Structures are given as C-alpha cells and as structure tokens.
C-alpha cells in the first residue's frame, strides 16, 4: 500500500469517527454485551466532547449516513423498508435517503455527459435540465428531450465516487477480517466473503453499460406484461458513466396517500409485488435486487389492475438451477411444517456440516417454528422468522451462503414494501401456490421432456468422447495394476464388466437420442414431413425405452 493510500484510509477513519461523535451515534450501541475493557474505553471515547445534537435520533442517523457516503446510504436504504424491525421514527427518516441525497452541480453533469458521448449537449438533446430530477447515492438523474421530441432521463455517475467507495471497501475488509478472526461467529458467517461479494456488486453498479444491459434483459423478460414495465434503453447515448433511457410516468410507491387517491387496489398491488419477485427468481432466474421504494413506481392507468414500473437496474441477481430447486423445496417444507425435510435440505445443500444429526437439527427448527406458525400467517414476519431461525442454527455451525445474500435481501425488501402497501399482506399464502406450480412444472412430463430436449444436443455432442474417456481410465488403471496385486484383481473385474457396460452405454445413448428425436418430432415446430404422422414419434419413444432398459 502506498503512503498516499494509507493516509487516505487513515483520514477516512477519522471522518467516520468524527461523524459518529458529531451525531452521538454511540447511543445506538448496546453496552452490556461488550467486554469490560471496551466499556471502559467507551467512557473515554472522543464523542463525549461533543454536545448532543438538538434533533431526533432518526434524523441523526439519517444525516450521519448521508455524511458517510454511498455505501452507508445503501445500508440505510435497505433498513428503511423493514418497518417490522425498526421503530417508526427511524424508518420514516431513513426513507428520505431514497430521494433526498444532496446533488452535485448540474454544470458538472453536463461536462461528464459531453466527455463520455464526445458531443456537445446541444447536439445530443433539444433540452437538458441542469436541475436534477433525483439524486441517489451513486448517481443523479436529469430530464432531457431528444430532437424528435421523446422525453428521456440522463443518469450520470457522481464524480470521484469510485475513490470514496474504494476507501470504504478497504475499511470494511479490515473490519470483516477482524470479525472473522476474533468474533466467535466470524468464521461461520464469512464476513470477508460477504464484503468481497458486496465489493463486486457495488463496482458493477458504477458501470452504467452493465446496468443498461440488465435493464434490456428485464425488459425482454416482461415485454407486454401486466405485472411490471421496464423503460427502454437508448444504447447510442449510453456510456460507462452515462445512461439515457425512456422517461416513465408513475406514482412513487412510497407515496401511499397518492396511491389511494388514485384508486389503486392496494391489496392487488402488494400481492403483485410478491408475484413479480417469484416470477423473476423461478421463471427467469434473473431478478432486480435493489427494489427499495425509491426505485419503484406505479402506473396510474387501470388502478384495479395496477402495474409496477421499475428503474435503477445496477444490482441484479441470478440463481443456478440447484439453488432454485433448493430454495423452492425449503420454502414449501416450511409452509407444510415438514421440519425433518428442512433439516435434511440444510444438510444436503451444505448449509450445515454433513455430520449434523438430523433429529437434533429438526428438533431445534421445530422449537423455533411452531410458536410462530401458531399465529395467523398474515401476522408472521418473514424477516423476523429468518432471524430467529438463524440464531437457533448457530450451535449447528450453520454457514452464510454468499450466493443467496442478494436473494435474501430482495425478499426482505419485498415483504417490507408489501406490508407498507397492505398491512394484511400474507406473503406465505401468496407465494405458496406459485412455488407448488413451479415444482409441478419441473417434475411433470412436459417439464422433463423440455429439459431433455434442451440438453440433448449437449449430450450428443459429448457422446463421442465417452469411449476415449473409458479407454484413458482403463490405461491408467493398468499402470496402477503393475504396482499392486490387489489392483490387478480390480482391473480384471473391471475389464470383464467393461464390455457389458460399453454396450449398455451405447444402448442408453441411442435410446436417449431416439426419445429426444421423438419429442422433437411431436412438437408443432417439428419436421413438416412428420407433423401429421404422430405414430412415428410414438415408435421412436418405444424404441428408445427398449434400448435404454435392454440388458447387454
């Protein structure tokens, strides 16, 4: 590390301590759980030299987060949606972080746009409002108009923001390393890995071309959808630090009074938010992972059938098919109170060590869940439930899964947002039918055939390599055989069965190919010659099944 970088980091530490002292955030820290040495240090801490500000605690917290910059503002934005976890006064103040972040000068935004797009603003737009429409933690947005009259918004990255973020990330790495080394739960929670994932996420958010690509993908996924509208991206006017997209018209979802005045069906709106989340996660495996109230609007047309409008696509998440399947089965098991399956899923997926006793873990989960599920489902907070379950699983060394951090955060945001819109929202019953249908589609014959047809070209492409792989394995075994009498016997047995296995492999591959061809020919887009002769597809199925189960 260079001397300048070390000085910058030290300076940032002093800034953080100054902000904590200025707004007396020490009052938010519990003292009793701390070691005696730390409590003594608190007595002589520098914040005692500052007079307590004449403002409420929520405003003090909000102003301190604004002073500390984008990473801390992001943290406040996440907290603002969790009214079931925060007092109302703090939640109301943190909500202002969505659109009340101080702006940088419009003249600076003009210079950034002209430098990025290599043209004067007057040649790019017929008008450009220097007063920002909105100002967020990473960027701010200006209204503009194309020469053909189309209304657009221009998003511009804050100047110098990357340097500030790099300093804060470096400090987070120091803190997370200390936690992982000295905190009793540090190794299990993997704080360093979480910071590393967050570092990648926030740097991705600084690249507006990546955000534009995310928006284009989401727009294709929900093209002509009644659930959500994604604005159009104008790629010819987009750069790494400048993005131009269609200007949308809608009511901010946080403006409950305006939504009710417009006659919006609040129950339908809240339930559609849950449906959008599960559609993105399970149908598309590509979800908007920053759905706080500042990024969501509601279209005013068709208030009885409300449509969401999303912006700010810098953070998206994806799941592997294995993650999707694990998540769906876990949630359904919770819905059914099948605690044994929950325990087994946690073990098989690697959340807890494989030597964990299923019966003990099942009993611990039941102890947490039963008191919660005795209440009406609409009164159950998914956020509170996850916290209780996580605390209980500590003694089983349950580990944080970094690949699911964004998903968990998004689900908590959706629940918090839905409860603001409609306090009676039943997240569990809204999600359960969707998950059940998704699982049925995966295991039903159409879903199985679709999966086979999707992977058949890959299987056929790899099939010529199988004999060579078998031959290479046999060659290596023969070399090992010369060194051990035991391995000679093993090789002899393996050689005796290899011929039979090779024949079975050929039969299986041929059978799978025939079944796949039969599936293809039975589809409407199959070969025209065989579209009106379904008996041939049936014959191919039969031949394929016969070859697969035929003994060599």
CA of 214: how far to CAs of 109, 209, 220, in Å? 23, 9, 10
User: CA-to-CA distance for 379 and 385, rounded, in angstroms?
Assistant: 11
User: CA-to-CA distance for 229 and 501, rounded, in angstroms?
Assistant: 54
Q: Provide φ and ψ at 303, rounded to 5°.
A: -60, -25
User: Which secondary structure element, helix H or strand E, spans residue 102, and what is its range?
Assistant: none
Question: Tokens for 526?
Answer: 């199959």
Residue 56 backbone zone (phi > 0: left; psi -120 to 50: alpha; other: beta): beta
Residues that are catalytic: 290
User: CA-to-CA distance for 134 and 254, rounded, in angstroms?
Assistant: 15
Q: How big is the chain, counted in residues?
A: 552
- CA torsion through residues 77, 78, 84, 90, sign: negative
Compute the half-sphere exposure of residue 141: CA atoms within 13 Å on the CB side of its CA.
21
Taking alpha carbons only, the member of 303, 542, 306, 336 closest to residue 439 is 336
Which residues neighbour 301 within 8 Å (Cβ) at sequence distance 6 or greater?
Answer: 307
DSSP 31: S
CA of 478: how far to CAs of 104, 336, 426, 499, in Å? 72, 53, 63, 16
Taking alpha carbons only, the member of 79, 42, 74, 43 closest to residue 58 is 79
CA 125 to chain CA centroid, Å, is: 35
CA of 544: how far to CAs of 262, 452, 508, 514, 518, in Å? 60, 13, 8, 5, 9
Q: Strand, helix or coil at 471? A: helix
Q: Provide φ and ψ at 253, rounded to 5°.
A: -70, -20
User: CA-to-CA distance for 309 and 326, rounded, in angstroms?
Assistant: 30
Question: Tokens for 431?
Answer: 């999600």
Judge whether 352 and 397 are in contact, CB under 8 Å: yes
For residue 475, count other CB atoms closer than 10 A to its CB. Answer: 9
Q: Could you write out the DSSP letters of every residue in 252-291?
A: ETT-HHHHHHTT--HHHHHHHHHHHHHIIIIIISEEES--
């Amino acid at each position: 590390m260079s001397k300048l970088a070390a000085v910058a980091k030290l300076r940032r530490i002093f800034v953080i301590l100054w902000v904590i002292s200025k707004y007396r955030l020490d009052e938010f820290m519990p003292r009793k759980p701390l070691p005696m040495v730390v409590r003594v240090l608190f007595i002589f801490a520098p914040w005692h030299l500052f007079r307590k500000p004449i403002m409420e605690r929520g405003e003090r917290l909000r102003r301190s987060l604004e002073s500390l910059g984008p990473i801390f503002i992001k943290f406040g934005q996440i907290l603002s949606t969790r009214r079931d976890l925060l007092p109302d006064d703090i939640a109301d103040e943190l909500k202002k972080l969505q659109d009340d972040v101080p702006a940088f000068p419009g003249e600076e935004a003009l210079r950034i746009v002209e430098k990025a797009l290599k043209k004067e603003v007057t040649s790019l737009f017929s008008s450009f409002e220097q007063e920002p429409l909105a100002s967020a933690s990473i960027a701010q947005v200006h209204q503009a108009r194309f020469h053909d009259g189309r209304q657009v918004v221009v998003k511009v990255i804050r100047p110098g923001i990357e340097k500030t973020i790099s300093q804060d990330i470096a400090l987070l790495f120091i803190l997370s390393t200390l936690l992982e080394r000295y905190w009793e739960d540090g190794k299990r929670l993997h704080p360093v890995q979480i910071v590393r994932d967050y570092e990648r996420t926030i740097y991705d958010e600084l690249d507006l071309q990546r955000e534009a690509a995310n928006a284009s993908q989401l727009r294709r996924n929900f093209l002509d959808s009644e659930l959500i509208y994604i604005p159009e991206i104008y790629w010819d006017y987009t750069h790494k630090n400048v993005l131009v997209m269609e200007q949308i018209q809608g009511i901010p979802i946080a403006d409950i009074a305006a939504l009710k005045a417009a006659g919006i069906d609040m129950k339908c709106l809240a339930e559609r938010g849950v449906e959008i989340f599960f559609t993105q996660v399970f149908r598309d495996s590509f979800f908007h992972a920053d759905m706080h109230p500042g990024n969501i609007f509601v279209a005013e047309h068709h208030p009885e059938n409300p449509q969401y409008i999303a912006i700010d696509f810098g953070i998206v998440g994806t799941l592997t098919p294995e993650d999707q399947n694990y998540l769906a089965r876990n949630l359904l098991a919770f819905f059914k109170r099948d605690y044994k399956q929950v325990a087994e899923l946690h073990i098989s997926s690697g959340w807890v060590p494989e030597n964990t006793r299923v019966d003990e873990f099942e009993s611990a989960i039941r102890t947490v869940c039963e008191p919660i599920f005795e209440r009406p489902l609409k009164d159950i907070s998914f956020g509170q439930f996850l916290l209780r379950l996580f605390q209980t699983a500590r003694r089983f060394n349950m580990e944080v899964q970094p690949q699911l951090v964004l998903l968990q955060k998004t689900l908590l945001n959706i629940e918090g947002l839905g409860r603001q819109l409609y306090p009676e929202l039943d997240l569990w019953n809204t999600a359960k039918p969707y998950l059940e249908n998704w699982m049925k589609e995966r295991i039903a014959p159409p879903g199985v055939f679709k999966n086979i047809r999707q992977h058949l070209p890959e299987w056929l492409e790899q099939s010529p390599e199988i004999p060579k792989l078998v031959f290479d394995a046999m060659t290596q075994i023969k070399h090992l055989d010369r060194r051990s009498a035991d391995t000679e016997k093993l090789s002899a047995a393996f050689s005796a069965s290899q011929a039979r296995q090779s024949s079975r492999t050929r039969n299986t591959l041929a059978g799978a190919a025939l079944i796949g061809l039969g599936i293809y020919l039975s589809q409407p887009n199959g070969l025209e010659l065989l579209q009106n002769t379904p008996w041939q597809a049936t014959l191919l199925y039969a031949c394929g099944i016969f070859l697969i189960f035929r003994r060599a």
